[in-house]
Structure 1
Amino acid sequence: MAFIKNFIADESGASAAEYALIIAIVGVGIGAAALALGNNVTAAIGGAANDVHNCNDKKAPSGATAGTSSPYVASATC
């Protein structure tokens, strides 16, 4: 708590180099987070695409209708 009071009371100000260092550190953090998020989104979309592809492979032939005991009607997982 004393650190925060001292920080607020300090009127010396920061130099441009210190601001540049802070901006660089924050920028690296944002870049790393964006890279990790991008990889997770890519994996999620790829998984969804595979699920859709697998369900389309089990597509019912023409004439099969829902509510029948046809083996071609997609299950609830598709």
Structure 2
Amino acid sequence: MTKRFRQDEDGAAMVEYSILIGIITAAVIAIIVAVGAWVTTQWTTLCGVLPGATCP
């Protein structure tokens, strides 16, 4: 029984995949936040440059 328990790597693989999914999720959220901030800045800049534009 102990040999089988030591050779079973399913639990370790699941933990590794869970950590990998967590890292990917955090990176995607950070990218979405960064792109959102960039778009907001660009939109504000464009709104300020256009004559007669009303900026919110």
TM over 0.5, yes or no?
A: yes
Q: How many residues align?
A: 48
Using the TM superposition, give the Cα deviation of residue 24 of structure 1 relative to its aligned residue in structure 2, in angstroms: 0.2
- Which consecutive residues of structure 1, in runs of 5 or more, have no partner in the other structure? 1-11, 60-78
C-alpha change, 1:56 and 1:30, in structure 2 (3 Å) is same
Question: Normalization by structure 2: what TM-score?
Answer: 0.74
Instruction: State the one-letter code of the partner of 2:26.
Output: A
Q: Provide runs of 4+ in structure 1 moved above 2 Å.
A: none
Structure with greater Cα Rg: 1
**Identity in percent:** 15
Normalized per residue, the structure richer in helix is 2
Q: Which has the higher contact order (CA 8 A, sep 6+)?
A: 1
Q: How big is the alpha-carbon RMSD for the aligned residues of Structure 1 and Structure 2? A: 2.2
- Which consecutive residues of structure 2, in runs of 5 or more, have no partner in the other structure? 1-5
